[in-house]
Amino acid sequence: MTVRLLPCGRRAVLVEAEDVLGYQAAVTALDLAGVEELVPAARTLLVRFDPAVTDADRLGAVLREVSPVDSTVTGAGEVVVPVVYDGEDLADVAAEAGVSVASVISRHSAGSYVSAFCGFAPGFAYLSGLDPALHVSRRSTPRTRIPAGSVAIAGEYSAVYPSASPGGWRLLGRAEVPVWDVERDPPNLLPPGTRVRFEAVTA
């Protein structure tokens, strides 16, 4: 696999890779001296290191030779999220996708998802694996407040809102499982690499 490395100050290297989670899993397994943190994003992996132990050139020489591995084997386990599918945008999603509301629900709950990366807000996991038929646009006008626990989709991702916040994702339903809880250790229920299944339930 071809990767591109970009320097990020004195303490980090940004790796552009096609399979970010697989690449991260491979780097984690190497347990490289001096590597302090790996931060995945949609198409990149930030590798933070201790400059007293290694440097960008030495680390880069190793990172260029890394091949991704199956991240589902080395991931953080599976979480089942019960969902009441009564979201405000179900009908709009069905219309844009050209399917019925029942099909939207069955397609979304049948998916096998992986937490690809976290961002936007603490505990907001971007879940890859959404059925391509449900790759719909965001709302043209974002809502000023989306309740915590809202299950939503936008583009190629699904997500569960960890806290009440503004947002433009399409709402499919709601989950009672708190995905971010500062009283829990760790607070994040869906760290990168976690496999996720949505289970349709009644209110």
Same domain, 36 and 130: no
Same domain, 190 and 127: yes
Same domain, 98 and 24: no
- Long-range CB pairs of 86-90 (<8 Å, 24+ gap) are 86/173, 86/174, 86/203, 87/150, 87/151, 87/152, 87/170, 87/171, 87/172, 87/173, 87/174, 88/171, 89/139, 89/152, 89/170, 89/171, 89/172, 90/171, 90/172, 90/173
The CATH number given to whatever domain includes residue 194 is 2.40.100.10
Positive or negative, the CA dihedral 169, 171, 173, 175 is positive
Length of the chain: 203
What pLDDT does 22 receive? 85
Helix locations, 64-179, DSSP H: 71-74, 90-97, 101-110
- With cut-offs at 50, 70 and 90, classify the pLDDT of residue 72: low
Question: Cα separation of 142 and 118, whole Å?
Answer: 20
What pLDDT does 193 receive? 86
Same domain, 90 and 178: yes
What pLDDT does 42 receive? 82
Averaged pLDDT of the chain: 91
**In this predicted model, what pLDDT tens digit does every residue of 75-132 receive, in sequence order?**
557 899 999 999 999 999 999 999 999 999 999 999 999 999 998 889 999 999 999 9
Same domain, 63 and 82: no
Same domain, 56 and 100: no
Same domain, 60 and 118: no
Q: Cβ distance 125 to 193 under 8 Å? A: no
The CATH number given to whatever domain includes residue 13 is 3.30.1360.40
Of 76-85, 136-145, 149-158, least confident by mean pLDDT is 76-85
- Among residues 44, 70, 96, the one where a domain terminates is 70
Domain count, the chain: 2
- Among residues 70, 92, 112, the one where a domain terminates is 70
List for the chain the helix, strand, coil content (%; round to 5): 20, 35, 45
- Among residues 47, 70, 93, the one where a domain terminates is 70
Same domain, 60 and 141: no
What pLDDT does 78 receive? 87
- With cut-offs at 50, 70 and 90, classify the pLDDT of residue 133: very high
Sequence letter at residue 175: A
Task: For residue 181, give its domain range.
Answer: 78-201
How confident is the model over 58-74, as a mean pLDDT? 80
What pLDDT does 71 receive? 62
What pLDDT does 19 receive? 85
Per the listing, tokens 């591995």 go with 69
Same domain, 130 and 49: no
